[in-house]
Amino acid sequence: MSTADRSAIRCRGLVKEYGRFRALDAVDLDVREATIHALVGQNGAGKSTCLGLLAGRQVPTDGTIEAFGEPVAFHSPRDGIRLGIRSIYQELTIVPTLSTQANLYLGSEVTRYGLLSEREMRATLRDLNDRLGVSIPADIPAGRLSVADQQMLEIMRALCSDARVILLDEPTAALSLTESRALLGTMKELRAQGTTMVLVSHNLEDVLEVSDDITVFRDGRVALPAAADVRDKNALVAAMLGPSGLEPGEVAIKDHARPHRAPGSREVLRVENLTIPGAVTDISFSLMEGELLGLGGLVGSGRTTVLRALVGLGHRTSGRLWIDGTQVKWPSSPHAALRLGIAMIPENRKTDGVLLGDSSSVNIAIGNLDRATRGRILTKARLASSTVGAAKGAGFDSSRLPSKAGTLSGGNQQKLLFARWDYAPVKILLADEPTRGIDIGAKAIIAEKLVERCERGVGVILASSEMEEVTDLCSRVVVLREGRPVGELNRDNGRITVEQILSLSFGLAPTQSQEAHDGHIDV
């Protein structure tokens, strides 16, 4: 029997329940040795829960797991590590202030006679650099590494502990296109060296490129087993969504729904010569009432920096800012920005957006607690009843309002943030990577909610690495390169394409006529 025909992991009848909610229901899964096995499905379909059971992070309610032919009963991640199963999570687990070498051996330091063996650990790091074709220095703080190198460090940590199976949860979600290609190449090399990988990803192009087997999850069950050997993107999407297609309220974006800036529309925001030393330089643009404006560019181009400056999180910000035609001071905090009518859905919802330990209703009401109080008294009943409308408006199941936000899928957490800024209405909404790491059904809802904001007169600025979202939704796109504006694409001049954004991002010649006026560049 060849290696690829043997099971590295075999699950039968896996069930995981949280109270009355069944997250996994009778799941059977076979992961062959020395293969890449992808788990795909909408948010909340059960993929990450399954990964958590395989890692020992959670204990199944029922069912069995075998690892390399032996029955196992995981009670903690250490049980999985002892069997050679390591996890790499979407939220990386490095310690930013420790060196890369210290992170590599954290919890499994090499010692001789009670002392750290620096020479042996450094030699292993060099070997891993050679094996993976990278060059990660040993002594710099890990927080100074790029996200891609931090992810590679996590893979090194797994290999350093002789991992036979690596579980990867959305490994390319925070990476640029070039970095993603490099990581996929590393995964192929590891497979050739005999490492087994289980991949959870919403990027079906990545899945189809690297995976040997694909299992589709829907509503906690296996909707399409790997044995079906389906390699067609449309068929995979159909299996994820089920026979009825999109869930209720999940409406795909149609061309006619795209907001367009009407001539003479009121200007709600204007930025002139925004500069943050070492980050962005001389950025100018305007935003009209009801407009959906895109910020285009590659990872590191300055998109997030611009949005953070607008909500008072910029460091040494200079330039001029107008709101509704009146020049104002740059906000010094998110609270000051909110007083100006500006709110943000941040890139990292778990650390910067959602209060993971609080209920969903608290997460919605936190932007405007006065609305949830009566006589300056906040009650659970008042909190729950006052947030129902905002929850439903964002496509969030109001029956889950008592649930802690940390128990929700990424897509549902993102819906909470949209509901928050319905509950506390704003005139300018900044959306930074709003669909990162969520399933295609939830992406459709998020995109529709952005359009709905515009139809209500809210000005929206969208920054997204998924350039098709920007070209499909935005009436104008300001393209940044290395912290500077390099062009403005306008739908009035013709269809905006990904190729145009990339051409400007890479410093290539634009494809539309170019003219400069009033400090802006139109392409």
**Domain closes at, from 406, 424, 442:** 424
What is the CATH classification number for the domain harbouring 73? 3.40.50.300
- 103 or 248: whose pLDDT is higher? 103
C-alpha–C-alpha distance, residues 55 and 50, integer Å: 9
**CA–CA separation, 104 and 94 (whole Å):** 9
Query: What pLDDT score was predicted for residue 258?
Result: 47
Of 154, 226, 165, 236, whose CA–CA distance to 203 is shortest?
Answer: 236
Among 396, 424, 452, where does a domain finish? 424
pLDDT, residue 66, reads 94
What is the three-class DSSP state of 351?
helix
**Other beta carbons less than 10 A from residue 242's beta carbon:** 14
Domain boundary, last residue among 186, 212, 241: 241
Residue 251 lies inside a defined structural domain of this protein: no
> Regarding predicted confidence, which is higher, 239 or 43?
239
Beta bridge partner(s), residue 72: 65
In a domain, 300, yes or no: yes
| Residue 24 neighbours by CB distance under 10 Å | 27
Cα–Cα dist 47/29, whole Å = 11
Backbone angles phi, psi at 442, to 5 degrees: -65, -35
Whether residues 268 and 412 share a domain: the answer is: no
| Gap between the Cα atoms of 502 and 144, Å rounded | 27
Q: State the total domains in the chain.
A: 3
Do residues 71 and 170 share a domain? yes
What is the residue-averaged pLDDT of the chain?
Answer: 84
Q: For residues 250-273, give the mean pLDDT.
A: 61
DSSP structure class, residue 331: P
Residue 4: pLDDT band by 50, 70, 90 thresholds?
Answer: low
**Per-residue confidence band for 2, with pLDDT thresholds at 50, 70 and 90:** low
| Percent of residues, the chain, with pLDDT higher than 70 | 88
Q: Are residues 363 and 335 in the same domain?
A: no
Specify whether 415 is located in the same domain as 363: yes
pLDDT class for 295, splitting at 50, 70, 90? very high
pLDDT of residue 241: 72
Q: 313 with 388, same domain?
A: no
Q: What is the pLDDT of residue 50?
A: 93
- Taking the C-alpha atoms of residue 208 and residue 60, their distance in angstroms, rounded to an integer, is 29
Highest mean pLDDT pick, 75-79, 339-343, 453-457, 461-465: 339-343
Altogether, the residues listed in the chain come to a count of 523
SS3 112: strand
- Tokens matching residue 470: 């920007």
Residue 431 pairs in a beta bridge with 345, 462
The mean pLDDT value for 417-429 works out to 93
∠ CA(235), CA(240), CA(246), 5° rounding? 100
Q: Token digits for 371?
A: 């609305």
On whether residue 347 sits in a domain, the answer given is: no
pLDDT of residue 520: 40
- Residues 420, 430, single domain; the answer is no
Among 88, 85, 91, 92, residue whose Cα is nearest residue 31? 85
Per-residue pLDDT tens over the stretch 169-223: 888 766 667 777 888 988 998 899 999 999 998 778 889 999 999 999 998 999 9
Does residue 134 sit in the same domain as residue 272? no
Q: How many Å apart are CA 380 and CA 374, to the nearest integer?
A: 11
Residue 146: predicted pLDDT: 79
Digit-coded pLDDT (tens) for 343-366 = 999 988 888 889 999 999 999 999
Residues in CB range of 280: below 8 A, 6 or more apart? 274, 302, 305, 306, 309, 480, 483, 484
Q: What's the angle, vertex CA 232, arms to CA 501 and CA 1, rounded to 5?
A: 125
Q: Do 188 and 296 fall into the same domain?
A: no
Within a domain: 250: no
Which of 226-235, 242-251, 470-479 ranks highest by mean pLDDT?
A: 470-479
Does residue 254 lie within any of the structural domains? no
Mean pLDDT of 101-120: 74
CA distance to 220, 233, 314, 501, per residue, from 240 (Å): 11, 11, 40, 31
The per-residue pLDDT for 376 is 76
Find the mean pLDDT for residues 329-340: 94
Query: What average pLDDT does range 451-476 have in this prediction?
Result: 90
Separate counts of helices (H) and strands (E) for the chain = 18, 26
| Residue 517, pLDDT score | 34
- Residue 26 predicted with pLDDT over 70: yes
Residues 375, 444, single domain; the answer is no
**Pairing of β 62-67 and β 377-378:** unpaired
Mean pLDDT of 88-116: 77
Over residues 50-72, the pLDDT tens digits come to: 999 999 988 999 999 999 999 99
Predicted pLDDT at 1: 55
270 and 360 in a single domain? The answer is no
Q: In angstroms, what CA-CA distances link 214 with 103, 223, 254? A: 32, 11, 30
399 and 289 within one domain: no
Q: What is the pLDDT of residue 33?
A: 95
In a domain? residue 247: no
* pLDDT tops 70 at residue 77: yes
Instruction: Specify which of 96-100, 374-378, 515-519 reaches the highest per-range mean pLDDT.
Output: 96-100
Residue 80 has pLDDT above 60, yes or no: yes
Range(s) of the domain holding residue 287: 261-341+426-522
* pLDDT range class, residue 233, cuts 50, 70, 90: confident
Whether 205 and 85 map to the same domain: the answer is yes
CB 206 within 8 A of CB 175: no
- In 3D space, the residue among 119, 114, 118, 153 whose CA is nearest the CA of residue 134 turns out to be 153
- Identify the pLDDT of residue 252: 39
Percentage of residues in the chain with pLDDT exceeding 90?
39
